[in-house]
Structure 1
Amino acid sequence: MTITSRPTSAKSDPWSFLLPAQHQTTTAPDEILHSGNAGLIIHRVGQVAYEFRDEAREFARSLQQHNNQVLHPYATAFVYEEVFGRQERLHWLIHMRAPNDYGRLLEMVEHDSDFKEIAQGDRLTDRGGGNWERMFGEATFQETVIVPQHGLTHADEDDDLDGLFAAPAHHQTDQPADRMLHSANACAIVHRRAQVKYEMRKEGRQFAYEWQEHINRALAGEATIFLYEETWGRQDRIHWLIHLRTLDAYRHLMRLAETDDDFRALLDKQFVAPHKGGGTWGRMFVEGSINDTVLVPHTARTGR
């Protein structure tokens, strides 16, 4: 499915200074892998050393641009800034078609001379020498693999995934392509994580899907939410990527419980069967496990 541009509004956009992540690459829009069409996503996080904030961002941009050139069409990476959270924390979303494509990245790391220059050359000549290992805090790099949630859409019945590891997330919504937001064209992303209780893993996912489905229909053009499963990580940890046209759109999402009767009914719905004691969504998740991180696409301006 081709999703190429960020939806626009007739009203003036106070968030226009935030460029969508697709501006970080020269790849043609219809050839970009993003959260809506990828088979899996690697979420990489690193804490920048405060004294090297500018150098770290220059490194991140150089690395991301080179990766996108060499790994196309098997991977697309975008860089994001964390806001309203930890200062100087960078996030990468590396979108891939399938796990085997990670081998292409390893091949590049081992044998690509341009990559080695970016990652090993002296980028701190006037500051004692060094590269990325001095720009980021020790042991702060971590990666999480998330895969579009399966089993909840008819796309899972289609055996032909065109080489993708899982049915892409855009199958989770009936939003038209010209109103759908994703990691390439959104102004901001809220990354929400939640730990589902093992005994209610099925009910938790059903609620998660119905919650996002309702919001996708109610706020089409303002927000698009996709649901993912953490893979090779914590069992039964789910992830939502809440893509926003502007940060103001999150206010509309928060108000749904006040203004939308059907949404309130969803929050009050008894998802837990009587033989398990009954209950709403609040019984399905480990207490304190639902947390949000707000990301905006990195540009030279957001990095200042």
Structure 2
Amino acid sequence: MRQTPARLGRRRIGPREFDFDRQVAVMAIVNRTPDSFYDQGATDALDLAVAAARRAIDEGADWVDVGGAKFAPGPPIPVEEEAERVVPVVEALADAGVVISVDTFQPEVARAALAAGAHVINDTTGLQDAAMADVVAEAGAAIVVTHSLAKPRTPYPSPRYDDVVAEVCAFLRERVALAEARGIAPDRIIVDPGHDLNKHTLDSLELTRRLSEVVALGRPTLVALSNKDFVGESLGRRDRRDRVEGSIAAAVYAVLQGARIVRVHNVRETVDAMRMIEAIEGWREPVFLEHNR
């Protein structure tokens, strides 16, 4: 069912101002990891990562999210190594005119990235380490608080929820309160329900269907749906590169429920979908008017 989200108004994030009552921000994913979920290390090299980020910006991305360590289970990555992966990308994009976030759960990586010019920290552990909130508050930066259950880089087999949406909302409400108590300004907090993070496909579908309950927390809601397994399983064992249409459908549904930031791999296609929603809603004018004029 279509929902009317609470008004969020204008928010300045880094060099961009967004009117989240009338605008959807597209966040491009750029990973410097040899084992990344989607591209399997295709942008691990610094020059390839920077080129991918600039290509995404040319395709209309408002935001670039740089990662140096994926959430999924694996051996620990030293702080110094993760920082060496992400900081040069942040520095290279400092003049790009877009929001730059860094996907990390390590407070010292966050500190280095913010010093290099990042505007947002995207913490997929939902401030499991409260020191992360201190780092973000000290920098006057923004934070994405994401729902997940596992400790960083560790497995969490067969997660079970009595009511996944209610439990996700309770978690996010608690962690947002922690962020504010540690000094992060309320207008600098974004929430993400964490599709597929320690969740089964039915959980992720339920979160999408009832996303308006997450939006009702009153924070800009980010959805990271792009090419995830719940999309592939819903459509029939689709390979990660064959999930674009399903991912866009899920993103459109989420936006109609009130999501205002979408984190994606396929930038051009998603930008077109989001701008079309904006045009249909009357939030933006068509680029030009010629048909039957």
Fold similarity call, TM over 0.5: no
TM-score, normalisation: structure 2: 0.29
User: Which has the larger share of strand?
Assistant: 1
Question: Higher relative CO (CA 8 A, sep ≥ 6), structure 1 or 2?
Answer: 1
Structure with larger Rg: 1
